[in-house]
Structure 1
């Protein structure tokens, strides 16, 4: 979206007042009037439209900004629809209940939290999708955690922490590939750079989940697990072949097949399993794709856990994501992001500030744009030229972009990641936020490396980045 160079950009005072107005609208709608966050974001649209008119922008240009912003997140919206359908049919077809049953039968409560973290990490590394991981292995881990009587926010923290290791690190992840491309760094070089942060962050996070797991994994929880297993066995058929759809989906994702059709195919397998093994009528099984699963168990918490999914469960999430993306588009077209970019470029005069500015720009993209895709674009476009100006290797840019963009996505309640995780796992963002230990540790390590000038590499351009980076620096 190209704007005329003569267009006046808002100044720092105007943006400060705008930020206060947006925060005020969100606080009024959500905390005072107790309305949905979607209405708050819609109110922010009107604040931004008024600001645009103040800058003498015509409505047509601002509407183009809205649609351009929403278009950036269409891939995520398609994944949301597919995962909603998959969760509904996998609940009805007994696939997720069988995973929960298997986990309860073989897992030690003392190591459960650490196991949940590493299982979700391995799944996301293999598949490259945090949403797919949370919607499959993550939902199962929530069920196992409930069976062991663990606090649900703590389990959600372990699940999301593990899921975002792969989202940030896997060569199969769309955000990993997108970041390498935006930063003009080779994909493998980008992954290797992130390992300097990921290895200590994963080690420390796993240790924390292990230590806390010992605190909660007392012997009394085994009785609850037995009760859950008996309820599942009474409600669903328990057998090894009930896990085949999950194995098939993971295998296809590992083979780098497109995630949306693969997840939809997995959802169809759930319908087939519901008909074949749970004796569900075909029409009722198909309806679970849209309406989700509905059972009546003797355990109330199991009803809450298993009665979920369906495309309809994602509609509020999709609406929120679209509104947040549209708000980000308005920020772009009114020049708000450009002004912030200019300010950060003047402030980032050393390597520590440079890294912090990239992480902040990524967070800002999530906060204002509501999606990881937006955050990756803002982090790179706002700060990339400064890396070349200060002679800092672009592998550091790509690493910091993932830290500020991808990692902070589930930490903000109205982003696509934040709303998806809260909806899918049944735990509010503010409740699981304190337990995102991988995220906090990774962010801290990234900032420390920048200020201490550790693992920041010599400025040696690779074949992948040299020509483009040189042009960017001019």
Structure 2
């Protein structure tokens, strides 16, 4: 039965937008804005003749559809902790710094950021760890700050687009109901030429900036003293890559990667099982002689991702309620008119 809303759809959407902006202005978590929007929209639907049961079931159906993605978001926090605790990220940094010696620094920094971002699954996390280290080295070599930032950001975000551990990519896959193998084949066609063209540009831009061993030595020494660095640790990123490309379900890939990361933490870094569990839940912080490096090797664990799950859940529930009340129909009609 067609029900007439007591408020016009634009009024409902603008009010919800005001709630979101208000939460930002008041420095409140964004999920408070979504919660206010959900309550407001639910009240409008109820006053417009929608039964409470129908509104409640709509909200539950949104959470049910989103259940897998919410679990993956939590596992992303755990995965980052395991990649740090097991020594995988420090090992990538160590060997990356080693092979950078004598090379074109801008090109090497770009490629390292692509690699780290791909296996960490987060552009922001990659920039705040490896990126800051590379930035410090680059600035000490006289590379302009704006140029260095451009190299790091482009490397991190290019790789983040196809990382099997990326929250954004997993959200996309859940939305379009595609597995990683299908998405990878589709995106690599445009991404690979982009990486090649960008690499050529940085090759010519960075010909006068050659990485010197002295600039990299302090980071390598700190990593060596804080972690057991071994090529064997590349087993973890290789395993995750193989499982992802083979088309294995993302949830299973994350779970296997976390278990493998925990095992490597115990075997290679001699971390106790209780410490591994603590890192999974509450995060990890590096323990090297360099406080500067320790401040970079940080992860918040699963707990740090709870706010993100609330925001995603709030957004999906609000969209479902909009769909139930046909709030978006007039807006979509105007957008598609004439197509």
Query: TM-score if structure 2 supplies the norm length?
Result: 0.78
| CA separation of 1:229 and 1:113: change in aligned 2, threshold 3 A | closer
Structure 1 residues 75-474: aligned runs within 5 Å:
75-107=68-100, 108=103, 109-112=105-108, 114-116=110-112, 119=115, 134-135=121-122, 139=125, 143-149=129-135, 155-165=152-162, 175=172, 179=176, 199=190, 203=193, 207=197, 211=201, 214=205, 218=209, 223-345=214-336, 347=337, 349=338, 354=339
Q: Distance in 1 between matches of 2:150 and 2:58?
A: 37
Deviation, 1:297, is 3.5
2:139 is matched with: none
**Structure 2 vs 1, CA of residues 10 and 142 (structure 1 numbering), >3 Å: closer, same or farther?**
same
Deviations 1:296-336, CA, capped at 9 Å, x for gaps: 44444422321214211211111211111111111111111
Asked whether the 8 Å contact 1:87–1:308 carries over to 2, the reply is: yes
Where relative contact order (Cα < 8 A, 6+ residues apart) is larger, the structure is 2
List alignment gaps of at least 5 residues for structure 2. Answer: 137-147
Q: 1:217 to 1:72 in 2, by over 3 A?
A: farther
Contact 2:114 2:158 in 1 (8 A): no
1:336 partner SS: coil
| 1:73 corresponds to | 66
CA shift, 1:235, in A, is 0.4
Asked if residue 29 in structure 1 is aligned to residue 16 in structure 2, the reply is no
Q: Partners in 2 of 1:216 and 1:16 — Cα distance?
A: 55
Aligned to 1:8: 4
Name the residue aligned to 1:431.
Answer: none
The 1:298/1:272 distance shift into structure 2, 3 A limit, reads same
Distance 1:45 1:96 in 2: 40
Question: Structure 1 residue 249: deviation in Å?
Answer: 2.0
Instruction: Give the total of aligned pairs.
Output: 318
Q: Deviations over 1:194-253 (max 9, x none)?
A: 78xx53x75457545764684799458865533222211110011111221221222222
Residue 17 (str. 1) matches residue 4 (str. 2): no
- SS of corresponding position for 1:38: helix
CA contact (8 A) 2:283 2:298 kept: yes
Q: For the Cα contact (< 8 Å) 1:288–1:310, is it kept in 2?
A: yes
Q: CA deviation at 1:55?
A: 2.7
Whether the 8 Å CA contact 2:107–2:202 is kept in 1: the answer is: no
TM-score (norm 1): 0.58
For structure 1, the 5+ residue unaligned runs are 124-131, 182-186, 355-474
Distance 2:177 2:261 in 1: 35
CA distance in 1, matches of 2:199, 2:6: 46
**CA distance in structure 2 between the aligned counterparts of 1:302 and 1:241, rounded to whole angstroms:** 22
For the residues of structure 2 that align with 1:46 and 1:210, how far apart are their CA atoms? 52
Aligned mates of 1:217, 1:286 — CA distance in 2: 46
1:391-433 superposed Cα distances (whole Å, 9 cap, x missing partner): xxxxxxxxxxxxxxxxxxxxxxxxxxxxxxxxxxxxxxxxxxx
